[in-house]
Amino acid sequence: MESLFVQLLVIGIKILVILGVVLGLGAYLTLVERKVAAHIQRRPGPMVVGWHGLLQPLADGLKLITKEDIFPRAGNRFLYNLALVLALVPAVLVFAVVPFGPEFEVFGVKVKPILTDVNVGLLLVFALGSMAVYAIALAGWASNSKYALIGSMRKAGIIVSYEVVITFAVMGPVILAGTLSTYEIVQQQINQKLWYIWLQPIAFVVYMFAMLAETGRVPFDIQEAEAELVTGFTVEYGGIKFGLFPLVEWYVEVLSLSAIAVVLFLGGWSPINIPFLGFIDPLFFLGPLSPFVWFILKVALLFLFVLWLHWTLPRYRIDQITETAWKVMLPLTFVNLVLTAVLAPIVWR
Amino acid sequence: MIKKVFEKPLSWFERIFFIDFIRGLSVTIRHAFSKTITTHYPYEKLTPPKRFRGFFGHKVVDGREPQPAFDEWVERFKIEVEPGRSRCVVCLLCKRACPVPQLFEIEGEKLPNGKRRVSVFNMNMLLCTFCGFCVDACPVDCLFQSDIHETASYSRKDSVLTLEVLERIGRDWQRRREKEPDRIWIDDAQRMRLWYENDLKLPEVKKQ
Ligand code: SF4
Ligand code: SF4
């Protein structure tokens, strides 16, 4: 009885921490994005609200909440609202299987900093990832607008193509680790003294492309294409409902997929790796905190890289995007899969 | 002659290692870490050039009127010339030149001594296109466009320039900028920085 209570308490705390961190961070990443974009274009970005615009996300949130919530006349109200839930929930749920650090002990209770260490964690990630297509298709359909419908159809096309690619791309690390549990994959990388990016560069590049495509980040932001579709499927949403879609798509999803990329290819919470020899930890002075810092650092760097790409590259056409997926990326992942299967025994030893 | 120019296709090396991506990324990262070049508008303001076409004003009588035109018009209309007041001779040429003439409300009045002067001069800035035709038409260099460009107002009534406002703008302008040489940008430190940063150097001309 006692232990069950403790278990529930621990899980409750974990859920609160993850939800708070993810949604709060998501809001603040809007500021990060605006700053990065501004400096790339040699502007200072938001400067007025708070020191260097630090309170800007709060002001934005306040503004979005107090805005009128307009609903299109011939839309379907139930689906219109359901789309929001369907977008938000799977994106946040992915964080349930992201391991933030190694197991540690507080007050004699062993805590794994991962919400549920299910042994098919990766499967869950990609299952939830493909849920996103429902949200977008519903949003486009329910708002009864041509722009929204075209945007959502494009996005659905992209996700269907890249879902296949991303699944084959992560097959490499899965073979090397021999498990689907995210926690175990990181543990395996530490045991084998190897970040899988060293053996899987192709898979990593393909994964990055697919990640950009799934989250609608720049070279693949065809579903919103400001110039031709205004903002695609969010065009009929107003107020905070409009605010939630970019929050989910551009920040929470990018964050979750970056975290998964770190877990799969960059050794999760392990410090800098020299292949097959060991790890070097320049942050050793942080003691037991260092793994967490490493994890956050890697995710942050990956996120910044995505922003950097976003504000550099122009947009591809829809046919080019799907063509790349089926004709280039997919064959590459097949080749990678075969090579990995051949190389795997060397890693297993 | 029309010349067709084709982009060179990417080589396999460039494709595999994303050389074109890397080139673009290196450009943006260099910009991201260099100084910003914007003006922080409400806190920092650029002074527009002297010829800027902003809000209107009436230049006042101060002895620098264009002669002999001013004296001729004063003679013809028997205008009361008061130093420090508007030079307007109520000829209505500005209204005739304007593409939206109804934005002007111009009236003159007859003084007890038999002379005349302008009494009402309203310009509704909501209708103005800032084309400057009225300024060109004015024969006595009275109506002019100043460098005032922050023209937002809380009500429609505030955007009507009355004679009083026009004279105030004119007096202010004559004090600040009348004597200034007619250059394009006066405080162009910001702008010059842009030119120099882009390293605009003309190619040397080779002597035969
Ligand atoms: S600027 Fe053009 S539109 Fe405006 S008052 Fe003068 S003539 Fe009329
Ligand atoms: S053209 Fe000049 S002088 Fe004539 S009415 Fe207009 S402002 Fe007055």
Average pLDDT over residues B88-112: 91
Give tens-digit pLDDT for A204-255: 888 888 888 888 787 787 777 666 777 777 778 877 888 888 788 788 888 8
Pairing of strands A272-274, A278-280: antiparallel
pLDDT over threshold 70, residue A136 = yes
Which tens digits make up the pLDDT trace of A75-102? 788 888 888 888 888 888 888 888 877 7
- Give the pLDDT score at B127: 92
Query: For residue B97, what is the domain's CATH number?
Result: 3.30.70.3270
Q: Is A73 at the interface with chain B, CB within 8 A? A: no
Q: Which of A154-158, A227-231, A331-335 has the highest mean pLDDT?
A: A331-335
Q: Inter-chain contact B32–A36, Cβ cutoff 8 Å?
A: yes
- DSSP string of A67-81, one letter each residue: S-----TTS-HHHHH
- Using one digit for the tens of pLDDT, what is the confidence trace for A111-127? 777 777 778 888 888 88
User: Which tens digits make up the pLDDT trace of A14-53?
Assistant: 888 888 888 788 778 888 888 888 888 888 888 888 788 8
Give the percent of chain B with pLDDT over 70: 86
Mean pLDDT of A160-164: 85
Ligand 2 contact, B93 CB (< 6 A) = yes
Beta bridge partners of B109: B117
**AA identity, residue A156:** A
DSSP string, A292-307: HHHHHHHHHHHHHHHH
pLDDT bin (cut points 50, 70, 90) of residue B190 is low
User: Any idea which ligand is nearest the CA of B103?
Assistant: 1
> Would you kindly state where each structural domain of chain A is located, as residue ranges?
2-348
| In the predicted structure, residue A314 carries a pLDDT above the cut 90 | no
Higher-confidence residue of A106 and A82: namely A82
E-strand ranges in A63-183 read 104-106, 109-111
**Which structural domain range is residue B141 located in?**
56-177
pLDDT in the model for residue B96 = 92
Q: What is the pLDDT of residue A42?
A: 86
Q: For residue A182, what pLDDT is reported?
A: 83
Residue B81 in this model has a pLDDT that exceeds 70? yes
Q: Is the pLDDT of residue A54 over 60?
A: yes
- Find the CB nearest B25 among A38, A43, A312: A312
Instruction: Give the ipTM of the model, two decimals please.
Output: 0.72
Q: CA A183, CA A175: separation in Å to the nearest integer?
A: 15
Which residues of A are less than 8 Å from B40 in CB distance? 44, 47
A36 reaches B (C-beta below 8 A)? yes
The answer on pLDDT for B187 being more than 70 is: no
pLDDT reported for residue B137: 92
pLDDT tens, residue by residue, A294-308:
888 888 898 889 888
Phi, psi of A161 (to 5 degrees): -70, -45
Residue B134 · residue B143 · CB < 8 Å: yes
Predicted local distance difference test score (pLDDT) of residue A349: 60
pLDDT at A164 over 80: yes
pLDDT for A154 beyond 80: yes
Helices (H), B33-68: none
Mean pLDDT, residues B73-83: 89
Q: What distance in Å separates the CA atoms of residue A125 and residue A96, rounded to the nearest whole number? A: 9
Does residue B20 lie within any of the structural domains? Answer: no
Q: Identify the pLDDT of residue B106.
A: 92
Consecutive H or E run containing B104: strand B104-110
More reliable by pLDDT, A17 or A285: A17
pLDDT for residue B180: 73
pLDDT of residue B203: 57
A260-278 residue pLDDT tens: 888 888 887 877 777 777 7
The amino acid that residue B64 corresponds to is R
Quick one: pLDDT at residue B107? 92
| In chain B, residues 114-143 whose CB comes closer than 8 Å to chain A | none
How many domains, chain B?
1
Would you say residue B21 lies in a domain?
no
Percent of chain A beyond pLDDT 90? 0
The whole-angstrom distance between B18's CA and the closest CA on chain A is: 10
Residue B126 near ligand 1, beta carbon < 6 Å:
no
pLDDT at B99 over 90: yes
Note whether residue B126 is domain-resident: yes
A96 vs B60, higher pLDDT: B60
Residue nearest to atom 8 of ligand 1 (CA): B98
CA distance between the termini of chain A:
44
Q: Reduced to 3 states, what is the DSSP secondary structure of residue A218?
A: helix
Say if strands B160-161 and B116-124 run parallel, antiparallel, or are unpaired. Answer: antiparallel
Q: How confident is the model at residue B34 (pLDDT cuts 50, 70, 90)?
A: confident
Phi, psi values for residue A279, rounded to 5°: -120, 145
d(CA A100, CA A111): 11
Tell me the pTM.
0.77
| Over residues A151-175, mean pLDDT | 85
